Structure 1
Amino acid sequence: MSFLGERLSITPPDNLGTKYREEEVERFVVECMMSQGVPRANATALAEVLVAADVRGHISHGIFRLDMYMSEVMKKICDGHATPTIIKESVSTALVDGNNGLGPVVSNFCMDLAIKKAKATGIGWVCVKGSNHFGIAGWYPMTAVKHGLIGMSFTNTSSLVVPTRGKNNIMGTNPISVAAPAKKDDSFVLDMATSMVSGGKLEIAHLKNQPIPEGWALNKHGKPTTDPKEMLDDGSLLPLGGTELYSGYKGFGLGMMVEIFCGILSGAPYAHNIRTWTKSTSPADLSHCFVALNPAFFANGFEDRMSDLMDHCRGEEPDEGGKAIQVAGDPERAHTQKVKEDGGITYPITLVKTLWQLAKHLDVTPMQSA
């Protein structure tokens, strides 16, 4: 967190807890955003996505990101009041202008529109420009699953990824998410960057003063590094797969595919044309793509077959390591269950102290531990 570009001199107390109930975290996010004039509905949309990220174990995209959203609203780089508008549409497609609104507000609108179209025609495909960081990509396909639909989401990001055989960053981490309904709410939920790892995981490693695995990133000189700060200081992430020897060109190709669905299709900035993420002096102008697909327009029994496939994969004999085979969504399910059993979300104390200072800076009630 940047503290809106400043460090506060006030020192947090020593007795701060590290475990917080979901509703308390949501309350805190909403009050922080409303302190800057953001309408409650828009603030709640953001809070729900951030809390969901933390509950599912994606701490790099949870309340850790609050300062980024707040900073851009305070600097009027992002319009916390804005709502999206449809530029043009057909029965199954739409192009939307996010009007520089909060990413979750824009994205909920677009996913809901795609769902409406998919229920009527079998598919809804919605592209949006003029948006901002939208949180975890999986949030939006999971919304489609609640309606019995297959959901997909894609977003471009600032350039952090070096191409295979290249030296300069020209593509974003460009996440992909696909969710599909199965029986007993046991959904398939794929949520992944097209780089080796999301940039946020390096920020968390830096926050915790931990090294990163070799093969994730390069420093500004193009050399492999295990120090997250070296990557954050004008370094690079490798595409999914890593180097050319390990098929990094496939990850880079997937990143370009996301860019086709987002920046290229919507007529927005793409790849190297997107604002540098650390230089937030102008609107991010990110673009996303949301797809909803109605299985009812295809063969009957989709959820039965989906469950059979997932259960079969899980039931296969594990390797010598002995750990059970997982399918997409299982780690998040396990973390969600842990949060439930623990009675709250557990945060690093460094982050808790930062949030306490932010609360004092904004004159809102700090989060109260569970």
Structure 2
Amino acid sequence: MAHVTGEQLKSFAVKVFESLGIPATDAETTAEILVQADLRGIDSHGVARLPIYVKRLKLGLINKRPDIKVVRDRPGAAVVDGDNGLGQVVGHRAMTLCLEKARQHGVAVVGVKNSNHFGIGAYYAMMALKEDMIGMVGTNTSPLMAPFGGKQPLLGTNPLAIAIPAGSQRPVVLDMATSLVPRGKIEIAARKGEKIPVGWAIDKDGRPTQEPEEALKGTLLPMGGPKGYGLALVLDILCGVLSGAAFGAHTGSLFGDLDRPQNIGHFMLALDVNSFRPLSEFKNTMDSLILSIKNSEPAEGFKELFLPGEIEYTKTEERAQKGIDLNPVVAQNLLNLARDLGLVGGEATVDTLFA
């Protein structure tokens, strides 16, 4: 198992993107967001995604040098056309615009069309924390989940991320898919040769399965049954229908549709706390709320209560200090990728890849 630092991973990812003709700034942005996923413990959305990004870039399905434009502009709202660029580049640009508008007007919403898979939503929501704002980000995804009661994948896992600042306590950061689990967890189980719990997914015939390979051929299930389905549908409307991006079954698959762009849509909101109450008061109240939960008595079988994002903060601190253990399959895929791109010679090994 390869043991690497975040900086080593980021440097590797930057080299990969630049070797394909991605501008240095865009390569840096994309690499940073991928590695932040690995640092937070969201391994399914980190450098493990590099091979499929490279494949789509080489096929011309992602624009290496997009002309990202604001196509509709209002004081507190805008629509951004990502020109089929890397989702991280488009998402970062759109959230930056959203924060600029929120600084001027107290609250802002930005819709995005013609984008691609943009990694972890938490990254963009957490951009608001540096401005002492609340950030909310959603995205639609390729259809991987059946509506409640169905078996045909018509909706994406359509994740939602919300970041809320606090005072002395850590910010609250909710980052969740609207499926019971994200597809990435099933992919990880498949790589490890492990079974998945009943209730995560159904096979192509609509039957419950514990086999990750069968689940990947079938469809994920929404969290909370009809509630998760309803939330996924609303996010698809906000991200896809409202912005003019693809929606539902029309959204391109990251892995499956290797003949067309994804046309993913994003929805971004930034809210300036000072527009509602003094920031110091808000942060003090947030601390009180957080501590009331942290200091409450755990139920039987639990040792501690956690706030959304708290485990990821701890994981980030741990991995930033101790490094990251790459899954052997991911490490080998990255080695193969580096060889294919001519970044290393045939004699290179996983152990020497990040040296």
How does the TM-score come out when normalised to structure 2? 0.95
Give 1:46's match in structure 2, choosing from 18, 25, 30.
30
Q: Does 1:238 align with 2:221?
A: yes
CA contact (8 A) 2:125 2:163 kept: yes
Name the SS of the counterpart of 2:94 in structure 1: helix
Question: What whole-Å deviation, never above 9, does each CA across 1:152-181 have from its counterpart, x for those lacking one?
Answer: 100001111111121211110000000001
What do the CA deviations read for 1:119-175 (whole angstroms, capped 9, x no partner)?
Answer: 111111000100000000000010011110000100001111111121211110000
Letter in 2 for 1:298: F
Aligned equivalents of 1:259 and 1:356: distance in 2? 36
Contact 1:42 1:80 in 2 (8 A): no
Cα gap change, 1:56/1:30 in structure 2, threshold over 3 Å: closer, same or farther?
Answer: same
- Of the structure 1 ranges 168-177 and 297-306, higher mean CA displacement relative to structure 2 is found in 297-306
Select the residue among 227, 234, 251 that pairs with 1:274.
251
For 2:312, which of 319, 322, 332 is the aligned residue?
332
Correspondent of 1:259 among 209, 219, 236:
236
Q: Does structure 1 retain, via aligned residues, the 8 Å contact 2:5–2:320?
A: no
Stretches of structure 2 lacking an aligned partner (at least 5 in a row): 345-349
Aligned residue for 1:95? 79
- Counting aligned pairs with the same residue, the percent is 38
Q: Give, as a single letter, the amino acid of the residue that structure 2 aligns with 1:270.
A: F
CA offsets 1:178-233 (integer angstroms, 9 cap, x no match): 00011136111000001111111111111111111111000111110111100112
Quote how far apart the aligned CAs of 1:369 are: 5.1
Q: Which residue of 2 aligns with 1:148?
A: 132
Question: What does residue range 341-352 of structure 1 map to in structure 2 within 5 Å?
Answer: 341-342=321-322, 344-352=323-331
Q: Distance in 1 between matches of 2:253 and 2:275?
A: 42
2:7 aligned with 1:23: yes
Match of 1:228 among 209, 212, 229: 212
Q: How does 1:180-259 map to 2 (within 5 A)?
A: 180-184=164-168, 186-233=170-217, 235-241=218-224, 248-259=225-236
| Partner deviation per Cα, 1:320-363 (whole Å, 9 max, x = no partner) | 11320011011101211221342x11111221122112111111
- Are the equivalent residues in 1 in contact too, given 2:335–2:353 (CA < 8 A)? no
Confirm whether residue 311 of structure 1 aligns to residue 291 of structure 2: yes
Cα-Cα RMSD: 1.4
Q: Where does residue 290 of structure 1 map in the other structure?
A: 268
Runs of 4+ more than 3 Å apart? 365-370
Matched residue of 1:146: which SS?
helix
Paired with 1:96 and 1:219, the residues of 2 have a C-alpha distance of 37
> Would you say 1:62 and 2:46 are equivalent positions?
yes
Q: Determine helix, strand or coil for the equivalent of 2:121.
A: coil
Cα distance in 1, alignment partners of residues 320 and 15 from structure 2: 24
Partner letter of residue 319 of structure 1?
A
Normalized against structure 1, the TM-score is what? 0.91
CA contact (8 A) 1:181 1:303 kept: yes
What displacement does 1:257 show? 1.2
Kindly provide the CA deviation profile for residues 290-324 of structure 1, in whole angstroms up to 9, marking residues without a partner as x: 11000000122111111211121111111111320
Q: 1:48 deviation in Å?
A: 0.6
Q: Does 1:353 align with 2:337?
A: no
| Equivalences, count | 346
Residues 360/185 of structure 1: CA separation in 2 closer, same or farther (3 Å cut): farther
Q: 1:368 to 1:360 in 2, by over 3 A?
A: closer
Amino acid at match of 2:23: P
CA distance, structure 2, for counterparts of residue 112 and residue 345 of structure 1: 29
Query: For residues 318 and 229 of structure 1, what CA distance do their matches in structure 2 show?
Result: 37
Structure 2 CA distance for aligned equivalents of residues 83 and 205 of structure 1: 38
Counterpart in 2 of 1:8?
A: none
Distance 1:99 1:56 in 2: 29
1:33-75 deviation line (CA, Å, top 9, x unaligned): 1111111111111101110000000000000001111111111
Contact 2:195 2:210 in 1 (8 A): yes
Question: Equivalents in 2 of 1:349, 1:67: separation in Å?
Answer: 15
What secondary structure is seen at the aligned counterpart in 2 of 1:225? Answer: coil
Aligned ranges 1:150-169 → 2 under 5 Å: 150-169=134-153
Structure 1 equivalent of residue 347 of structure 2? none
Tell me, what secondary structure is at the counterpart of 1:296? helix
> Could you tell which deviates more after superposition, 299-308 or 106-115?
299-308
